[in-house]
Structure 1
Amino acid sequence: MREVVYTGFMSLDGVVDSPGGGPGEEHRSGGWVFKDVEVLPEAFALKGEELAETTALLFGRRSYEAFAPVWRDSEDHAAYKDLPKYVVSSTLPESALVEGWGPTTILRSNDDVVELKKSEGGAIFIHGSAELARRLSDARLIDRYHLLVFPTLLGAGKSLFSSADNEKQVLRLRDSAAYPNGVLKLIYDVAG
């Protein structure tokens, strides 16, 4: 069974949206990752380490529409170009898929994600896509979290975790690190 891994930047109060700022990120604190915290390469090394494990990318519709046209031509994201991509959306038409960014498949439901997990291959990483991550977490379809937690309280924005009255999920710490700029690396496996 393939693992689904959520990876992202998160504020201490759980906000994951608009970390880099830019088009499509209208959050009042957009770009918060780079505004108030010293950039230390070792704090961002996790992103490079993930590349070796990533065999496919999974997005929600809005994150796909924001990332695909930018990441396709980005030197920083060149390693993702030819990887298979999956977009979970009940509304995205095939005609909206971005050309030249590797094979992309639209999944229409959580059941399609279950089938993807059963397919051959390695880890599938979710970038951005807070709403998708909440929905997949509620459905118990996320196997691991890779979080870089920033010493910032944003007070508003999309949360990674649902506020629904769901059954408890237990996470087991796989790896962690603290950096001089206050950023924490937390890697958790979802138990059970």
Structure 2
Amino acid sequence: MKNVVLYIAMSLDGYIADSKGSVDWIKGQSDSSEMPDTYSPFFKNIDTVILGKRTYDQIITELSPDEWPYSGATTYVFTHSTSMTDTKDIKFTNANPCGLIGTLKEETGKNIWVCGGADIVNQLMKEDLIDIYHIAIIPVILGGGIRLFDTTDNQINLRLIETVNYNGITEVIYESR
């Protein structure tokens, strides 16, 4: 069975994007410090990427407009639009995220990365479908924007697996218990 991994950056006050939807604040406290590559080893264990349409649009227009950064993995983009055309690596769907994730978890292969956005994350959390929370806490307080975690009636108990600190960033990795 595949694990569902939330691998995401958030501000110290819990936001994944600022009030304009930007993520240009995701960086360490010093531009001159070297940053370890925690992404490449993570992505080697991924064969499926989950994201919403706004995250997809941000990737193709701002973050990586010239090249799809997740080639080699199947990406599911959740959208209400019916005019999007699938590609070799990208599947557009209006399926229920929890239903699709439940099906994908049962397949053999590598892990499933929940890349964003917050609405998908919160739907999956309510159904307890996230197995690993890998969150990079960025040394900034935004004061507003898109909050990662919504309010919920469900308590989710976690077990700390690892912490990594560099350049003011703290990555915490928890598993569901």
TM-score (norm. length: structure 2): 0.85
Q: Are residue 143 (structure 1) and residue 131 (structure 2) matched?
A: yes
Partner of 1:114: 102
Task: Point out 4+ residue stretches in structure 1 off by more than 4 angstroms.
Answer: none
Give the Cα–Cα distance (whole angstroms) in 2 for the partners of residues 111 and 41 of structure 1. Answer: 41
Correspondences of 1:7-156 after superposition (within 5 Å): 7-18=7-18, 26-27=20-21, 30-34=23-27, 37-39=29-31, 40-43=33-36, 45-68=37-60, 71=64, 73-74=66-67, 77=69, 80-89=70-79, 91-93=80-82, 95-97=83-85, 99=87, 102-106=89-93, 108-109=95-96, 110-156=98-144
SS in 2 for 1:16: strand
Label 1:64 to 1:97 Cα distance change in 2 as closer, same or farther (>3 A). farther
RMSD of Structure 2 on Structure 1 (CA): 2.4
Looking at secondary structure, tell me which structure has more strand per residue: 2
Deviations, residues 131-172 of structure 1 (Å, cap 9, x unaligned)? 1111111111111111110121111011211213x2211111
Q: Specify every segment of 5 or more residues in structure 2 that has no aligned partner in the other structure, as ranges.
A: none
Letter matched to residue 154 of structure 2: E
Aligned-pair identity in percent equals 25
Give the Cα–Cα distance (whole angstroms) in 2 for the partners of residues 121 and 13 of structure 1. Answer: 35
Give the Cα–Cα distance (whole angstroms) in 2 for the partners of residues 152 and 131 of structure 1. Answer: 22
Give the Cα–Cα distance (whole angstroms) in 2 for the partners of residues 182 and 155 of structure 1. Answer: 19
Label 1:72 to 1:3 Cα distance change in 2 as closer, same or farther (>3 A). farther
Give the Cα–Cα distance (whole angstroms) in 2 for the partners of residues 118 and 67 of structure 1. Answer: 28
- Alignment length (residue pairs): 174
TM-score (norm. length: structure 1): 0.79
Deviations, residues 25-76 of structure 1 (Å, cap 9, x unaligned)? 824x751124x72244434x2112212111111111221233246647338x
Letter matched to residue 10 of structure 1: M
